[in-house]
Structure formats: C-alpha cells, structure tokens
Amino acid sequence: MRRYSPSLVVLLFGLSGFLGLVYEVLWIRKLTLVFGATTLALATVLAAFFGGMAVGSYVFGRIASRVANGIRLYALLEVGVGAFALAFPALLEGVDRLEAAVFPVLSRHPALLHGGRLLMGLALLAAPTALMGGTLLALVRHFVRAGTGVGTRIGGLYAVNTLGGALGAFTAGYVLIERVGIDSSTFLAGTANLLLGAAAWGLGG
C-alpha cells in the first residue's frame, strides 16, 4: 500500500458525514411528498438511519475484520451510497406508486396505513443507511491494522464526521434546497459521494 497522510482519510470521512446529513434532510423532505407533511416522514427517516446504521455497523464490522484493505472497503461503501442517491428519485417514484395503489384499502385502517408507509420507507432507506453504518468500522479496522496513533485517529474520525454532519444539515436545510432544489441537491450529493469513493479507492491502492 502506498504511503499517504492519514489526515486525508480523516478528511474524507468528514465529507462522508457532511453528505450523510445532507441526505437525511433531503430524504425527509422527499418522503413528506409521498407520505404527507407529518411526523411519520421524519420518524421513518430517523428510524431508517439509526436502524440501518446499526445493522450496517454489525454486518460490515464483521466483514471489515476479515478484509486486508479497510480503505478499499470504505471506498466501496461510499460508492454504494452515491449510487443509491443517484437512483433515489426513481426508487421513490416506485414507492409513491405503491403507496397510491394500496391507499384506497389501507386508508380505512389508519394503523395499517401508517404501518405500511413506515415499512415502505424503511425498505427504501435500508440499503444506503446500512452502507453508511459500515464506513466507520472499515476505517477503524484500517487504523487498527496500521497500529500507529490508533486512539488519536479514531477520535479524529468521530470528531470530523460529527462536524461534517452538522455542516451538512445546515447546508442542506438553509442553502441547497432553497438555491438548488431537492432533486438537484440529491444529484450533486450522489456525485460527490462517487468522487469521494474514488478518492478513497486511490488512497487504498
């Protein structure tokens, strides 16, 4: 593996946090168009994010312990997130059609309607959130194998990712949606994720 500055990996993970919160804000807005401007859309995205990331941490944490190159695994996860983001508008359109098809029946039973919407939202967001959940474990595994400054590096990952997430939420809510629009913002974020993954792949070479 070629030599590189570990700070570059930490910086990429900060961008990952930024994009992750951009997606969260954008997907909440889009789901309100399908499910209505209720707390259900918010609850669905939050449940999917926390649940999906927990599952991803478990699954990809186990995978990370067996792979030789944690950065390359991280790169693949980021590319997967970006690819999903680019496909998200089309996938959401499919969910919208499904919701429209079952609404006449389920609308007579509010509990079933809300439950059905929740399941559709969770199914839609399960894959990308699981991929996001695996990114930290992939990089942690890399730094553990590198064996130098482990505590400092992992602490840096948490700090920079959290800061990036805060900036991402602010940027999406107050800048991107207003000036670019939700769909264009999703496209930009997805493209950025692909570039991030490509950069990480290069670092892991």
Question: What would the pLDDT profile of 86-105 be if each residue is shown by its tens digit?
Answer: 999 999 999 889 988 988 88
Residue 120 predicted with pLDDT over 80: yes
CA angle 87, 28, 49 (to 5 degrees): 80
Average pLDDT for 11-16: 94
Predicted confidence (pLDDT) at residue 1 exceeds the cutoff of 50? no
Question: Where is average pLDDT lowest: 61-65, 160-164, 166-170?
Answer: 61-65
Calpha distance 61→18 (Å, rounded): 22
Q: What is the mean pLDDT of residues 49-66?
A: 89
- The span from the CA of 9 to the CA of 125, in Å, is 26
d(CA 67, CA 128): 21
CA distance 204 to 132: 18
CB-based burial, 9-41: b 16+ in 10 Å, e otherwise: bbebbbbbbbbbbbbbbbbbbbbbebbeeeebb
The answer to whether 131 and 81 are in contact (CB under 8 A) is: yes
pLDDT digits (tens, 9 = 90+) for 163-174: 999 999 999 999
- Per-residue pLDDT at 112: 85
The predicted pLDDT at position 174 comes to 94
pTM, rounded to two decimals:
0.91
Which amino acid is it at 17? G
